[in-house]
Amino acid sequence: MRRWLKIDLHIHSALSPCALPEMTPNNIVNMAAVLGLDVIAVTDHLAADNVIPVYNLAKRKGILCVPGIEVQTKEEVHILCYFLTCAALLQFAEHILSLVDHNVSLPPAIGQQLIFNEQDEIVGERKLFLHQSIPLSIEEIWHLAANYGVCCLPAHLDRPAFGLLGQLGFIPPGLPVQAVEATMPQAQALARSGKYRSVITASDAHSLEQMVTPGHTRLHSSLNSVASIWEWLQAPQNSLMRTFQCDV
């Protein structure tokens, strides 16, 4: 029997202002192992400081970690960005942070935006509020991404807040969207509509509890490297994907 790789490409660490402090690199990777995840991505808002610790810890557990980040456009649309290497991600993140309004500080009620090492020790924090828009449109993000070798896809398409359809009501003409992300069971309805080339599910977890979802996208076992998954996201083939309502 062919084995399908269980994936979750939208997880937040405690660097994201809306995530709980429990979302440390070791906790994320260990929970991923408990859930039987084969592929994960930490996609924090506008920054990528915790990706390398997660990447290294995941590798030791036999879990693939796709380098990623979540960007909020000036239309307040969330875009997930995936990279072939951590080095490319860090360069992109540095550029994104240079565009952010540095006068917007972290609201007192939010908590800290924490940076960890591989031992889950706090080695720093971001004072700049990371849940804000950058002054680039969706189209400009896509254009910028091409310069960094980024694969982009709209996040949580089914949600009214920060989703592309919720914010704009449509996908801009000419935007080269290949895959979109949604949550169960809406993902199945979106997939049946035939409007999108591929619909993947993800937890968008901001806590360990939220990593437990009622369904997961699985990719064919031939997509067993960061490079092959990145290439699939660029030009998804539904024959290499399955989505399960419940996991057994």
Give the tens place of pLDDT for each residue, 196-228: 788 999 999 999 999 998 778 999 999 999 999
β-pair type (64-65, 39-42): parallel
Q: How far apart are CA 136 and CA 142, in angstroms?
A: 10
Of the given ranges (31-40, 47-56, 130-139, 180-189), which has the lowest mean pLDDT? 180-189
| Cα dihedral 73, 78, 79, 83 sign | positive
Return the beta strands (E) in 44-84 as ranges.
64-65, 68-72, 78-82
pLDDT tens column, 44-101 = 999 999 999 999 999 999 999 999 999 999 999 999 999 999 999 999 999 999 999 9
Q: Is the pLDDT of residue 233 over 80?
A: yes
| Cα dihedral 235, 241, 245, 247 sign | negative
Q: Is the pLDDT of residue 245 over 70?
A: no
Phi, psi of 182, rounded to the nearest 5 degrees: -150, 170
Q: Which domains does the chain have, with CATH numbers?
A: 4-244 (3.20.20.140)
Q: Is the pLDDT of residue 30 over 60?
A: yes
Q: Is the pLDDT of residue 191 over 80?
A: no
| Cα dihedral 138, 186, 214, 234 sign | negative
Q: Is the pLDDT of residue 1 over 50?
A: no
Burial class of residue 193 (count of CB atoms within 10 Å of its CB; 0-12, 13-18, 19+): exposed
